[in-house]
Amino acid sequence: MGSVAVQETLNPFEIAQAQFNTAAEHLKLEAWLRDVLRRPKRQLIVSIPTKMDNGTIRVFEGYRVQHSLARGPAKGGIRYHPNVTLDEVKALASWMTWKCATVNIPYGGGKGGVVCNPKEMSQRELEGMTRRYASEISIIIGPERDIPAPDVYTNAQTMAWIMDTYSMTVGSTQLGVVTGKPLQIGGSQGRNEATARGVLFVTREACVEKKIPIKGARVAVQGFGNAGSIAARLLSEDGATILAVSDSGGGITNPRGLDIRAVLAHKEKTGMLRGYPEAEPISNEKLLELECDVLVPAALENQITQENAPRIRAKIVAEAANGPTTPAADEILHKKGVFLIPDILANAGGVTVSYFEWVQSLQSFFWEEAQVNQHLEKVMTRAFREVLAIAKKFDVHMRTAAYILAVGRVAEATRIRGIYP
């Protein structure tokens, strides 16, 4: 690259396509298989009329995309965000296909989203919108068809409303239609921490691979939602030093390490990280460039790009978020010797425990938390080792290795099933 850098695409669907193409090349996939796997199987766009508290009716737009059903029902979150687009939902649905295949659980990928700003809506408005959205997408979701879960700005309560709405529609309680539910109505122990715990397990493995002791490892976490805040807590409980954390309003840093429980209490009380007494402020941009052993991007897509990748000084990047690193940045990090644990492996703990929850819901037989975490550790460490072995065999970085593993599995399933009719 000369001084005139080519403008890289930040369209998540184009990025997902590029990552797929790389794996397809390594696997020498047949042209027809590439055509099938490159496209989502179904895309549903719905209008969601919602009564607002002031008596008016607003119409929101919602999506549900099913990318592949070759290995089982579709699985994937629902996000509420003002910037949701159909392309983003298509990208996330295809990432879910590869994620489920990476950790070898019997699902295809799905994703949903509603274009709205939940921060400006009351609980009653959110419930009305969620229930109408659920009834509109109920034509393609179901315990054997497509199982939604929480994602950005949705939670266990959102899932409860969807489960109830779907159950009312079909006339019987269907615990298995969503995961990430409250424990009182068929949720699983350990589901809330699952994404972060999965990040912890693969980070441990990466530290072993890079010969970095996790005790005293210096960690920076961008994004302090469910995955980021819990990952920070679990890593600190493992003896790591959390140098910095941030949320959408900015971050805080302390070179001697943050007391994560105290930081969580501060955020709970004030609603933000800023103003935490025992730390200096730091911007999201600067946090990414801190010198550290482990960087955990746990916010949104496209945080590490070709522009800032040369300044990343972490030894390991563990992607708790979906799509935080662009393909151009992948190459730069790889050349610098940064060990990247890709999103479709690093944050697959969430969907793995969602799978456990679904199995429990269908059987109405529930496991204890220790059992859930034990099964999760087995799945995550096995997947990490399989991906690492492929990275060494093909001499590629971990993202390409994970895609080779995942795309290979889905291609094989598609090939064996054949094309109907």
User: How far from 96 is each of 2, 65, 272, 323, 347, CA to CA, in Å?
Assistant: 36, 11, 30, 11, 11
How many CB atoms are closer than 10 A to CB 125?
A: 18
Please list the pLDDT of the chain residue by residue as tens digits (421 residues).
444 456 777 888 888 899 999 999 999 999 999 999 999 999 999 999 999 999 999 999 999 999 999 999 999 999 999 999 999 999 999 999 999 999 999 999 999 999 999 999 999 999 999 999 999 999 999 999 999 999 889 999 999 999 999 999 999 999 999 999 999 999 999 999 999 999 999 999 999 999 999 999 999 999 998 899 999 999 999 999 999 999 988 999 999 999 999 999 999 999 989 899 989 999 999 999 999 999 999 998 889 999 999 999 999 999 999 889 999 999 999 999 999 999 999 999 999 999 999 999 999 999 999 999 999 999 999 999 999 999 999 999 999 999 999 999 999 999 999 999 9
Q: In what order do the strands lie in the sheet with 108-115?
A: 42-51, 57-66, 108-115, 74-81, 146-150
Please report the domains of the chain, with CATH numbers, ordered by start residue: 40-184 (3.40.50.10860), 188-421 (3.40.50.720)
- The dihedral region occupied by 275, where left means phi > 0, alpha psi between -120 and 50, and beta the remainder, is left
The catalytic residue positions are 111
Positive or negative, the CA dihedral 227, 233, 238, 240 is: positive
Gap between the Cα atoms of 297 and 315, Å rounded:
13
Gap between the Cα atoms of 229 and 265, Å rounded:
11
- Which residue from 48, 47, 118 is spatially nearest to 83, judged by alpha carbons? 118
Give the model's pLDDT for residue 5.
55
Q: In what order do the strands lie in the sheet with 250-253?
A: 280-282, 250-253, 241-247, 218-222, 294-297, 316-318, 339-341
Gap between the Cα atoms of 16 and 93, Å rounded:
10
Give the model's pLDDT for residue 10.
81
Contacts of 137 (CB under 8 A, 6+ apart): 44, 46, 62, 64, 112
Give the model's pLDDT for residue 41.
96
Q: Would you say 180 and 156 are in contact if contact means Cβ atoms under 8 Å apart?
A: yes
Q: Would you say 190 and 197 are in contact if contact means Cβ atoms under 8 Å apart?
A: yes
Gap between the Cα atoms of 106 and 409, Å rounded:
11
What's the pTM?
0.93
Gap between the Cα atoms of 246 and 78, Å rounded:
23
Phi/psi for 242 (5° steps) reads -85, 105
CA neighbours closer than 13 Å in the CB half-sphere of residue 47: 4
- The dihedral region occupied by 171, where left means phi > 0, alpha psi between -120 and 50, and beta the remainder, is left
Q: What is the maximum alpha-carbon separation in the chain?
A: 65
- Which residue from 384, 359, 381 is spatially nearest to 191, judged by alpha carbons? 359
Q: Scan for tokens 């079909």, then name that residue.
A: 170
Give the model's pLDDT for residue 6.
66
Give the model's pLDDT for residue 7.
75
